[in-house]
Amino acid sequence: MPTPNPRRRDPRAQSPVESSSDELAAGSDHEEAERRRASWTMHKGFTPQRPYQQERQFTGSESPDELAVDADEYWRGSRRRRSPSPIKRPDSSHEGQSHDESEVLAEDGMTNVDETHDNAADAMSDRSPTPVPPPSPPPPSKPDHLNYKEKFVLRGHLRGVSAVQFSPDCSMIASAGADAAIKVWSTATGRLIYTFEGHLAGISTLAWSPDGQWIASGSDDKTIRFWNVNTLKPHTKNFVGHHNYVYQIAFTPKGNILISGSYDEAVFMWDVRRARVMRSLPAHSDPVAGIDVVHDGTLIVSCALDGLVRVWDTHSGQCLRTLVHEDNPPATCVKFSPNGKYILAWTLDGCVRLWNYVESRVIKTFQGHVNKKYSLSGCFGLYGPPDVKYTPPLCFAVSGSEDGAILFWDLVSKNTLQRLEGHTDVVLGVHTGKLDGKRLVVSCGLDKTVRVWEEASEDESPVAPGIATSDATPAEVNGQETPAHDEDGDDAMADAPPSGDATPAEDVTMT
C-alpha cells in the first residue's frame, strides 16, 4: 500500500466541521477564509463555493457530513432569498458566527437580512398573478331522439325498389329495382333526372364511383354495368364473369377497383379500367349477400347465407378474420363503421350486430325491426345539434324493416332514437347523407317508392300533406326535359311519429 504524501494536504481538511479545534484556533488564514466565505454567501445570494475548488476531488471516501454542511448553508441562504421552504428546518442562520464575523457583515451593510427578504417579497407581489384557466363547461346533453320528417316520395319504378344510394356529394339519388331500370333523382327538388335501361333482369345492387361520375349496377342477368351520369351513356363494356346473380357491389376509395359478391359463392375484385377480374376469392359455401370496403381501402368484408362474416386483405386477398355467431343465422348485409374498427352485420334472426372484428366478438346487438325473409340493408349516420361539437361524435345505426318501418339506434346505448313509418311494404334499403347542412335519409322498398327524409328541428312544423311529389313535373337534363314515370299519381305524404324502446348500454367509441 503506497505511503501517503505528508506534504499533500487532504482537501477535506478545508471543512470547518472536520478540522480540529486546535487547527482552527491556530490558523489565522482559515479565519480569514471563513469571513470571506460568509461574506460571499450573503452578498452573492447563491450556493457558497469552497476555496480552492479546483483541487476538490469527489470520491467515495468523502463523508456525508461534509456534504451536509454545504446543504445547510445553502438552505440557510435560500430562506433569506426566497419564500420559506415547505421542509421545516431548524433556524441556524447565526450558528457558528463569531463576534468578528458580525462586525464584518455590519461593515458590508448586510446586517438587516430580514429587510432584504421583505424587499424581495414586495418585488414578487408587484408581478401579475398567474392566469388560471376557467373551468371547462359541462359536456352538452345528448339528444334522446331524432326528428326526421318525410320530404319527398319519388315514384316511377314499376316494381319493387331493391337498392338506393346518395351520390358522393349527395346532390343526386340513384335507385334500382326489379324493373331492371336505374333512375337518377335530384336530391334538392326530388325530380327525376334520367332513367338508365339495359339490364336484362332485375337489379339487386348499385354503387356510385367515388368521383360521382359513374353508377355501377349488379343484376340477376349475372353482369355488372356502368352508367355515366354526365354523358348519360352506358359504358361500352359489360363486366362479365359471375356464374349467378350479382347480389352486392362496392367501390374501393380510389375507384379503380370494384368488389362484387354473387350467388355463385364468390367474391370478385374487378379492374375497373380494363373491365376484367383481378382476383377471385373463394369466400363462402353459400351465396354471398353482402360486401363492403373499409374507408382506406385496405380491407374487404363479406357475408353470406352460411352465416359467416369474413374480413379480407385487399392487397393479398387473404382471409384475416372469420366471424361466426353461436346461433349462426344467415347474414345478408355488412357495413364497416366510419372509423373502420367495427362491422355492422344484418342477419335473418331479426338482429343487427356490431362486431369488433379484431377481437372477434359481438359488442352490440340491435333489435326492434322485423327481418326473417328479405335481405335488408342499412348504414351508419351522425346526429345531434350541428352547432354543438361532441367528442366522440354521436353516431347511429339505421335499418329498414319488413313491417314497413325504418329504425334508428344509438350506437352506444342501443336506444331506439326514432321509428319512421311511411312505406306500405318491406323497406329493403336505407342510406344517409347531408346536403346544404341538412341531414337526409333515403329509403326504398317493395311498395315501388323511394322516400327522402329530412332532419327537422323540434320547433319546425312538419311538411304539409298534399304537396307535389317528385314525379309531378319533368326535370331538365342538359337542356332537355325527361318526363318522369307516374304510376298512380298518389301525392299524399305521411308524417312519422318517433317512438322506440331502450336496452342496456355498453361502451363503444365510434370516432
What pLDDT is recorded for position 406? Answer: 98
Lowest-pLDDT choice from 159-163, 195-199, 461-465: 461-465
Parallel, antiparallel or unpaired: strands 267-271 and 257-262? antiparallel
Please check the confidence at residue 314 and state whether its pLDDT lies above 90.
yes
The Cα 33–Cα 26 span in angstroms is 13
In the three-class reduction of DSSP (H, G, I as helix; E, B as strand; rest coil), residue 60 is classed as coil
Q: Are residues 307 and 236 in the same domain?
A: yes
Task: Give tens-digit pLDDT for 423-454.
Answer: 999 999 999 999 999 999 999 999 999 999 99
231 HSE (CA, 13 A, CB side): 8
**Coil vs helix vs strand at 87:** coil
Residue 337 lies in a domain: yes
Inside any domain, residue 434? yes
**Is the residue at 498 inside a domain?**
no
Q: Name the strand (E) or helix (H) holding 125.
A: helix 113-125
**Quick one: 253 and 384 in the same domain?**
yes
Q: Where are the beta strands (DSSP E) in 297-394?
A: 299-304, 308-313, 319-324, 331-336, 343-347, 351-356, 361-366, 378-382
The burial class, CB within 10 Å (0-12 / 13-18 / 19+), for 70 is middle
Number of domains in the chain: 2
**CB proximity list for 284: less than 8 A, separation 6 or greater:** 265, 302, 304, 305, 306, 308, 310
Same domain, yes or no: 238 and 303: yes
Q: Please state whether the peptide bond connecting residue 392 to the residue before it is cis, i.e. omega within 30 degrees of 0.
A: yes
11-21 as b/e: b if 16+ CB within 10 A: bbebbeeeeee
| 167 and 25 share one domain | no
HEC string of 411-434? CCCCCEEEEEECCCCCEEEEEEEE
Q: What is the 3-state composition of the chain as percent helix, strand, coil, each rounded to the nearest 5?
A: 15, 35, 50
Residues 196 and 342 in one domain: yes
Q: Is there a domain that residue 312 lies in?
A: yes
Q: In terms of domains, do 177 and 109 share one?
A: no
CATH number assigned to the domain comprising residue 299: 2.130.10.10
Same domain, 92 and 165: no
- Residue 452 within any structural domain of the chain: yes
Residue 86 sits in the same domain as residue 219? no
Buried b (16+ CB within 10 A) or exposed e, 34-58: bbebbbebbeeeeebebeeeeeeee
**High-pLDDT (> 90) share of the chain, %:** 58
Q: Is 115 helix (H, G, I), strand (E, B) or coil?
A: helix
Indicate whether 176 and 94 sit together in one domain: no
Residue 493 has pLDDT above 90, yes or no: no
3-class secondary-structure state, position 28? helix
* Domain extent at residue 368: 148-482
pLDDT digits (tens, 9 = 90+) for 31-90: 555 555 555 444 444 444 444 444 444 444 444 444 444 545 544 555 555 545 444 444
- Same domain, residue pair 34 and 81: yes
Of 471, 379, 353, nearest in space to 434 by CA: 379
Least confident window among 159-168, 176-185, 388-397, 476-485:
476-485
Cα angle value 174/179/180 (rounded, 5°): 65
Q: Which residues pair with 221 in a beta bridge?
A: none
Q: Is 265 left (phi over 0), alpha (psi -120 to 50) or beta?
A: left
The candidate with the shortest Cα–Cα distance to 243, out of 271, 206, 203, 280, is 280
Q: Is pLDDT of 329 > 80? A: yes
Among all chains, which residue has been given the C-alpha cell 419564500? 83
| Whole-angstrom Cα Rg for the chain | 40
Q: Do residues 392 and 511 touch, judged by C-beta distance below 8 A? A: yes
Q: Which of 150, 159, 152 is nearest to 173 (CA)?
A: 152
Mean pLDDT of the chain: 77
Q: Both ends of the chain: CA-CA distance in Å?
A: 73
Listing from the earlier edge strand, what are the strands of the sheet with 299-304? 288-293, 299-304, 308-313, 319-324
Q: What percent of the chain has pLDDT over 70?
A: 63
Residue 495 counted as domain residue: no
Bridge partners (DSSP) listed for residue 239: 224
Q: Are residues 300 and 442 in the same domain?
A: yes
Residue 474 placed within a domain: yes
The answer on 196 and 83 residing in a single domain is no
Q: What is the distance between the alpha carbons of residues 258 and 205, in angstroms, rounded to a whole number?
A: 13
Residue 171 lies in a domain: yes
Q: Over the stretch 235-285, which tens digit does the pLDDT of each residue have?
A: 989 999 999 999 999 999 999 999 999 999 999 999 999 999 999 998 799
Q: Is the pTM of this model over 0.85?
A: no
Query: Three-class SS of residue 215?
Result: strand
**Residue tagged 441562504 (cell numbers):** 77
| Range with lowest mean pLDDT among 128-142, 229-243, 346-360 | 128-142
